Amino acid sequence: MRIIIAGGHGKIALRLAARLGSGAVGLVRNPAHVHDVEATGAEAVVCDLEQATAEDVAEIVRGADAVIFAAGAGPGSGSARKDTVDRGAAVLMADAAERAGVGRFIQISSMGAGRSPRAGSDEVWAAYIKAKTEAEDDLRRRELDWTILRPGRLTDDPGTGLVRLAPSVPPGSVPRDDVAAVVMALLEAPGTRHQALELVSGDTPIISFVATE
């Protein structure tokens, strides 16, 4: 398989690349990040999703089996970049996938997306949730075989392989290791297409989830 990962230097993306090895292509904005992606065994391509056109990205995506959107503006970024990355780059990747004829598209979103931020929420957090929601809304309107994954609070704890994954789950946290493992499972789970799934740590083995699809 050839899997394109947008946001290739992110913490989840690097974990995905390590699992996929030579089958992964990580898109990175900063050339200094190429080495870190290549150290996982994956290919790295420099592509600034805030500057590229859909046709630019389609040339990279063409021939892939799936696209995973794992990009984000990241901590310390302001409201403007929440829009240009968490929304704008997601829309760009979906446009590129359609142009390239790549149907499978997994979008890593966030728990809380799809709902209005709580009253009194931090301005940047509200912008982040708005951007994620609008990116999801855009994806739902497309003919792609999409799945939206909404993890809870992310941690760097070791993965357990035990999760709770459903359209709605109680708030909670989840290790990035387990998010990467679930994304891998979703690639092989056609029954999850056109679903938005929330994810936190739980007591169901990820492998059991795959087996039911």
**Position 211 pLDDT exceeds 70:** no
- Express as a percent the part of the chain with pLDDT over 90: 85
pLDDT digits (tens, 9 = 90+) for 78-116: 899 999 999 999 999 999 999 999 999 999 999 999 887
Question: CA 24, CA 156: separation in Å to the nearest integer?
Answer: 22
Q: Give the E-state strand segments of 39-172 in sequence order.
A: 43-46, 66-69, 104-108, 111-114, 145-151, 153-155, 162-166
pLDDT digits (tens, 9 = 90+) for 20-67: 999 999 999 999 999 999 999 999 999 999 999 999 999 999 999 999
Which residue's entry shows tokens 């994620």? 132
Q: Single out the catalytic residue among 69, 105, 128, 209.
A: 128
> Residue 190's pLDDT is what?
77
Q: Assess whether 128 carries a catalytic annotation.
A: yes
**191: confidence class by pLDDT, cuts 50, 70, 90:** confident
pLDDT score, position 63: 97
Global pTM? 0.94
Residue 119 has pLDDT above 90, yes or no: no
